[in-house]
Amino acid sequence: MATTPDDSATARPGRPPIVDLATWQAARDELLVREKAHTREGDALAAARRRLPMVEFDGTVEVVGPDGPVAFLDLFQSRDELVVYKHMWYDGAPHQGQCEGCTTAAWHLKDAAYLNARGVSLAILTTGQWDEVAAYVEFMGYTQPWYSVRDVEAPVGGDMGYITCFLRDGDRTFLTYSTTARGNEPINGSLGLLDMTPYGRGEAWEDKPEGWPEGRHSCWFWRSDADGNATWGPTSRPVPQWTRPGATPVETLGRHDEHH
């Protein structure tokens, strides 16, 4: 059987060396040992999360959804557990001016069927006025429940950009866990897949072999213009928006930080 010789000494910069399948398998098996250790450490962290204390709060506080004000308790949909994503909001901004980072989270949470099967409900909370939020949800085609928590205090409201978990015991409600920044990455399956590819996320902070593409700033590909060019300027939208009916080229983000 023909094999491909090792040309690692003459491989072009910016690509892995070429080896035969047995050599590749040996290297893959070596990395697998580290991956399994990483998985076990993740299991240990999850076990520690399950042992965190919790904070009781008033579950009758009202949030606003498509049917008007409802008690936060209703978001559990009679289930015992609830996961929410807190979506940042720019008041008065058009659809393209809303948060690209939060868009990645919401876009990857289109369906909660498997959470529901496990007895966990899902909701997205944001501080926007409900009429603005409702128009945005319709444009994006989201099917998961959204609610406005404008002027609602933490832990229901408060800072946005967080994954937060709650537990219900009858009519009593408890905060159990919250995370943000890179702690939100488990939502984003695209990042997990990119981490498996040779060139990764294409971001400058990543540890890359010599000769690899240098990469750009974090999250550089989350916005693009109408021609698909990555840009965070005023002509861009969060990339999923270009898939929506009626999405048109734009000239402004309609928000205070257009200097991105």
The total of structural domains in the chain comes to: 1
Domain span at 107: 57-180
- Tokens representing 255 are 């928000």
Distance CA 28, CA 17 (A): 14
Distance CA 113, CA 110 (A): 10
State the pLDDT at residue 11: 60
Q: What is the mean pLDDT of the chain?
A: 94
Domain-embedded: residue 23: no
Domain-embedded: residue 163: yes
Domain-embedded: residue 67: yes
Domain-embedded: residue 82: yes
Domain-embedded: residue 167: yes
Q: Say whether pLDDT at 150 is over 70.
A: yes
- Please answer whether residues 85 and 105 qualify as being in contact, where contact means their C-beta atoms are separated by less than 8 angstroms: yes
Q: Say whether pLDDT at 208 is over 90.
A: yes
Domain-embedded: residue 131: yes
Band (pLDDT 50/70/90 cuts) for residue 102 is very high
Band (pLDDT 50/70/90 cuts) for residue 2 is very low
pTM for the full model?
A: 0.91
CATH number of the domain encompassing residue 175: 3.40.30.10
Domain-embedded: residue 111: yes
Band (pLDDT 50/70/90 cuts) for residue 259 is very low
Band (pLDDT 50/70/90 cuts) for residue 258 is low
Q: Say whether pLDDT at 7 is over 90.
A: no
Domain-embedded: residue 116: yes
Query: pLDDT tens digits for 194-206?
Result: 999 999 999 999 9
- Tokens representing 21 are 């399948």
